[in-house]
Amino acid sequence: MTQTPEYSVIIPAYNEQEFLSKTLQALKKAIAEVALPGEIIVVDNCSDDDTAAIAKSFDAFVVSEEEHRIARVRNRGAEAAQGRYLIFIDADTIVDGKLLRQTLDELETGECCGGGAKLQFDSKLPFFLRLLTAVWNHSWLCRKDAAGCYFFVPKDIFQAVGGFNEKLYAGEELELSKELRCYGRKNGQRLTILSASVTTSARKIKVYGTIGMLKTFLLLGLFPRLRRYRGACSLWYNSRNRNS
């Protein structure tokens, strides 16, 4: 008899055939290395390539979401999840057994209301971006903000705070981190940034370059309400980031 999953790994995917196989292969290996049973949910965001077929070939449960808004896509995956714990990763992000084990150990304490991991990229970055990544990691550790490419939370708490804010086109993980910190203070729980790192793709950096990345983050940092407008968040929605 198939065991009921204790955790659900949710992967939003729009035209991700280039990266998804590697992500799922690593994830399946990580799941096999931990004791708790888990499931993989791929949310196909109206892809017109082989994204859905690749997901099914790895026995992932595939659900569909038509709206191109990452917060909505992630929430759609959460709605389909059977697990007590939700782990959100990007389709170009590699999770190993060490990171997954640390995540589940932290969640199993009952003292954790959510969290994330430090970032590292799959290719060497220019010096300035390596420095900026180190600053980001330090800032996330201090502020307890979790990056969107790896975010975990108990499902009941995720539901209690309302999930990802669907009014936003970007930065929804920062908004949820804020909600979880508030929830944790009221309920004696913590939001944790793990010591293990998660490896994610540097494709946006290759497309937009250092200046383009900095301009986008600076603009959204100074004017956070712009995250409600798709045009200001083209870094995440521009077709140049995809394989179509």
DSSP classification of residue 60:
-
CA distance linking residue 2 with residue 156, whole number of Å: 23
Give the pLDDT confidence score for residue 207 in this predicted structure: 76
Secondary element (H or E) of residue 212: helix 203-222
46-87: pLDDT as tens digits: 999 999 999 999 999 999 999 999 999 999 999 999 999 999
| Ranges of residues in the chain whose predicted pLDDT is under 70 | 1-2, 125-144, 210, 239-244
Residue 63 is encoded by which pair of tokens?
Answer: 């659900």
CA distance linking residue 99 with residue 218, whole number of Å: 30
